[in-house]
């Protein structure tokens, strides 16, 4: 049950007992809408999406950290993941760069961590593509122009079979 349907029936402060009483009250109302229970498959897909989101956030943070450390040492790199991945090894190979050994070690460790994150994200994308190949539902969703495996699996994980929507307009309203 969505929290917004329970909140009006909570008469006192928010604690377990008061929320439980409010849930009991809200359930008895005929107009109350319920959140459909997610299947284990949907939850598994969501877990892959959540981990990818986490790794992308970490990837962005470590790229910014590497770029900042290098710029503090007077070595400016272009913005973007591909340019950073290209320029950092060149900086390590340049014997004439005045990069202190300690900074070289720290930045190299960070670069290896970034490379591992890149690989994990690529593996996740392979997971989405593999699942898309075996799932008829994902393949149907991907027939929409501009929808790829990642978006299609996210939609499938969110709505399941879509039975909670009476018409396409309801799904469209849910999206926005």
**More confidently predicted of 171 and 62:** 62
Q: How far is CA 40 from the centre of its chain?
A: 18
Is pTM beyond 0.85? Reply is no
**Entry field: residues in the chain:** 176
Reading the block at residue 47, the tokens are 């877990």
Question: pLDDT band for position 33 (50/70/90)?
Answer: low
Mean pLDDT computed over every residue of the chain:
89
Reading the block at residue 126, the tokens are 């392979």
What does the pLDDT average to over 68-87? 91
């Amino acid at each position: 049950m969505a929290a917004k349907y329970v909140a009006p029936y909570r008469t006192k402060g928010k604690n377990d007992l008061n929320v439980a009483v409010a849930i009991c009250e809200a359930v008895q109302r005929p107009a109350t809408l319920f959140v459909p229970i997610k299947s284990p498959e949907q939850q598994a897909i969501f877990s892959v999406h959540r981990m990818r989101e986490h790794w992308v956030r970490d990837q962005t943070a470590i790229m910014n950290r590497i770029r900042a450390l290098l710029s503090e040492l007077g070595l400016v790199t272009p913005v973007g993941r591909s340019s950073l991945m290209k320029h950092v090894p060149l900086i390590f190979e340049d014997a004439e760069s005045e990069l202190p050994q300690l900074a070289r070690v720290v930045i190299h460790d960070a670069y290896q961590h970034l490379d591992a994150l890149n690989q994990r994200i690529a593996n996740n994308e392979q997971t989405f593509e593999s699942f898309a190949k075996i799932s008829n539902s994902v393949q149907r969703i991907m027939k929409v122009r501009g929808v790829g495996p990642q978006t299609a699996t996210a939609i499938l994980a969110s709505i399941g079979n879509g039975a909670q929507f009476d018409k396409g307009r309801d799904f469209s309203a849910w999206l926005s």
